[in-house]
Structure 1
């Protein structure tokens, strides 16, 4: 189904330093909140925006004697995500304790999966334009619990802690360092978000923090990345710095660009890049040091004694695989092949799962993929954008838009009347077919009436007639006058034919 994509890798981003050229190497750790109503190890709600500390179970608050109980649905969502990324599903995995102290982590450790993740190696195909795509390898996906939230801006003398997010299930999706530029990094996160939303395993809401990325950036001399690919030796890639908690595609690009230039300046001045964790300040457009970068041993990982190894059966995985939806690349390919859409139109219509679902419902009603794509993209999306509305809030449902298209296809109304009808349905609602009948919008196909209208326009404009005979392209003026005189109801095809006949063209 992906035969339409040519996997030609884009050129790496090259930044000219004062002394030499440099290339970027980028890897991402994306934290995706599992789409689950309950937390990973408790039955507490995951509803966003609840009163502070209202969605907290005893185990989330680390009350003595409280033991975690795994949420099977969260495990299924992780498996589903792994299948969507063409990854290996590990039938045996295990949870570990990642030990560190912070006020919003009441247990003093985070339950995660370092040594035995639930999902192994996979891949994402990032389409970078016509004929160009990057294959980004996924190293692993592991389940872990989120921490709470520290709030520092409510009182200048105090900090507050909200534990509502504590224990919420996260999937950490770790890529290999295969990304070579800021635009690719943003496109990768966008593609991952798209796949997760199609799968229904994460809502992808970056504004609420439900999808956020830690971005690892390093610089290297041209050719060093190829040496890393040949040998697997990370030392060729330079010292990496991690930019934490990025929740905007635009900020990801800006942060990478700044961080790369910062590292280049250090190296070219004879210094060494220090491996550290940094934060991005969008107001200043720069990264700043947060802390030295920890390694695994700094967290003193050890197997979680409260949880047995997680063992799942292949039959259970197969049952999940049987319910997998059509993913965006496959859907896009089908739209191109079966509906005759252009690559661009298919990309627009599959960008969001809601767009694709709406479009397919319109096609089912109208029976014409190309015409449906034209109306959905140009008329519907254009009007929704103007009104700042989402497609899920569209006043025109797929059945109504499909009915409008069917009326045009059957020649009951013209394309121009169709736009007027769309506006009526958008603002007032109603059955398009009934509106056309009740308001007298049916297209005039009576050739006698059209011929009379053409004769009238020709008789009233003898000078224009001579111009049209000398230059046939000017015959369109007569067509426009006739359609205008009919209030847009005259069949354009019939008008064109009769005008050409009357003018002897």
Structure 2
């Protein structure tokens, strides 16, 4: 790949045959993303001032951040290291030489009157992000990821009618990640943002804290009739919640369609989303690159990255989510989709791996970790390995009793609730957890029915009491068979094996 900037061709996705998405009122939605990820360095990108969050205003800024006369920027090697790691994680090209530029604009919270960024030759070029949406694999192409400094923050004290400037954020290292306009719905955009969030937190270059502004997304949204040229885009700035992201894009799409249908022209603009009203509102007209008057920063030499540095970084990086997912597919025979879901975070993957190894039933382990266990963690709003969650060995013990036929799925769900309430992390040995599961099974009468004679009698009673369903099954109505299975399971209080019930019913109705 050339070391010049991969130019964004507005019609590239049509020429490349990018798939269309679901139409909204006859319009195709086109979405591209720019994401500002705050890098996890201890100091700022061009100064030694700390990057700590929440300090008193203007106490975490240096002469460089304040742009005092004579103060010169010095590149933070840790920021470059993190950019390299991201480039490797998304299969991008790492430029051997990239250039910093001055991006000129005039806001009160930009002390120099320009932002040091990268334009023509960014450090990371190309790459892609792959993810699943509703079980379908998607891919979004990246244009670039470039290093830059953050601006400060304007503080508005409405109750006294005054504004102030806090420059603590000024100079905070950012990696701005820019996509091609490849997304076709708000759901796809959110799925992309979640996958990107997973990658940058997995490799440790960003803490991902959206509330503190460590991961901020700008969505460029436009609409067009299928086959037409790209429409005029509007940029929704600083989306720091996946929920608000989807709401903002959906509103913006509806608004643009209404404007076009009313015969109005969309003006390129930067807009903000108001979560209280659920609406976007224009903040300012949107600038083009020429308006920023980019030129190379004379205070910073080209950023040179040797191939040795790149390869050393590659060798030292831990397994990426996609690599671990492939390992789970090979080791446990899981589907690509399930493996991707199980690698949503390092702790999630480790928890599943423990359950799968100890239980001896990887498929059931996958179902339970993605199902009941994950749902419980979501209810508590904790990580899956939190002390309030069951030990992986406890879940593995439960799965062993499902695998050997002691527990039905219904009985297992009941046992899990008691296990969750009382014996989360009491023991060190698997045998102790199995003994405790057995005690729950005995005390709650959860043991799966294994007496074929007793089950046959119950099924005979169900058939006798549901003559109409029996006639419908013999006439080829599969829903009627499901009703009979449901009645049999109800009669056994969920303790029968559903597969065995199905087999016996088919045999008696043949």
Q: Does 1:298 align with 2:291?
A: yes
The residue number in structure 1 matching 2:132 is 127
Correspondence for 2:313 among 306, 320, 331: 320
Which residue does 2:192 correspond to in 1? Answer: 188
Give runs of aligned pairs for residues 14-413 of structure 1, distance below 5 A: 14-16=23-25, 21-133=26-138, 135-153=139-157, 155-224=159-228, 236-342=229-335, 345-396=338-389, 398=391, 400-401=393-394, 404=397, 408=401
Output the CA distance in 2 between the equivalents of 1:476 and 1:221.
52
CA distance in 1, matches of 2:101, 2:490: 77
Task: Report the alpha carbon displacement of residue 302 of structure 1 after superposing the two structures with TM.
Answer: 1.8
In structure 1, what is the Cα distance between the partners aligned to 2:489 and 2:133? 42
How far residue 399 of structure 1 moved from its aligned partner, in angstroms, is 5.3
Q: How far apart, CA to CA, are the structure 1 residues paired with 2:154 and 2:55?
A: 16
Q: 2:488 and 2:266 mapped to 1: Cα distance?
A: 71
Deviation at 1:154, TM superposition (A): 5.9
Per the alignment, residue 429 of structure 1 pairs with 426
- Residue 95 of structure 1 and its aligned partner are, at CA, apart by 0.9
User: 103-112 vs 390-399, which deviates more?
Assistant: 390-399
CA distance in 1, matches of 2:305, 2:459: 81
CA apart distance, 1:50: 3.1
Task: Name the CA shift for 1:156/1:413 in 2 (closer, same or farther; >3 Å).
Answer: farther
Quote the Cα distance in structure 2 between the aligned partners of 1:404 and 1:128. Answer: 32
Q: Distance in 2 between matches of 1:208 and 1:183?
A: 24
Supply the distance in 2 between the matched residues of 1:266 and 1:465 (Cα, whole angstroms): 63
Task: Quote the residue 2:473 is aligned against.
Answer: none
Which residue number in structure 2 is paired with residue 233 of structure 1? none
TM-score, normalised to structure 2, is 0.77
Return the alpha-carbon distance in structure 2 between the equivalents of residues 12 and 220 of structure 1. 12
Whether 1:441 and 2:439 are equivalent positions in the alignment is yes
TM-superposition CA deviations, 1:33-69 (whole Å, max 9, x none):
1122222112222222333333223322223332222
Confirm or deny: 8 A CA contact 2:223 2:231 kept in the other structure.
yes
Give the Cα–Cα distance (whole angstroms) in 2 for the partners of residues 428 and 80 of structure 1: 36
Partner of 1:447: none
1-side partners of 2:18 and 2:362: how far apart?
Answer: 31
The question of whether the paired residues in 1 share the 8 Å contact of 2:393 and 2:433 is answered with no
Q: TM-score, normalised by structure 1?
A: 0.77
How far residue 155 of structure 1 moved from its aligned partner, in angstroms, is: 3.4
Determine if contact 1:412/1:443 at 8 Å carries over to the other structure: no
CA gap of 1:477–1:11, structure 2 versus 1, over 3 A, is closer
State the Cα distance separating 1:128 from its structure 2 match: 2.7
Distance 1:362 1:464 in 2: 36
CA contact (8 A) 1:197 1:353 kept: no
Structure 2's unaligned 5+ residue stretches are 1-16, 443-447, 466-483, 505-510
Aligned pair in 2 of structure 1 residues 410, 128: CA closer, same or farther (>3 Å)? closer
Show the counterpart of 1:503. Answer: none
Aligned-partner SS, 2:65: coil
1:198, 1:325 within 8 Å by CA — same for their partners in 2? Answer: no
Structure 1 distance, partners of 2:20, 2:116, is 40
Gaps of 5+ in 1: 1-7, 225-235, 445-449, 484-491, 501-505
d(CA) in 2 for partners of 1:308, 1:464:
83
Contact 2:390–2:425 at 8 Å: present in 1 too? no
2:508 maps to which residue? none
Alpha carbons of structure 1 residues 293 and 371: separation in structure 2 relative to 1, 3 Å: same
How far did 1:76 drift? 1.0
- Conserved 8 A contact 2:394-2:434: no
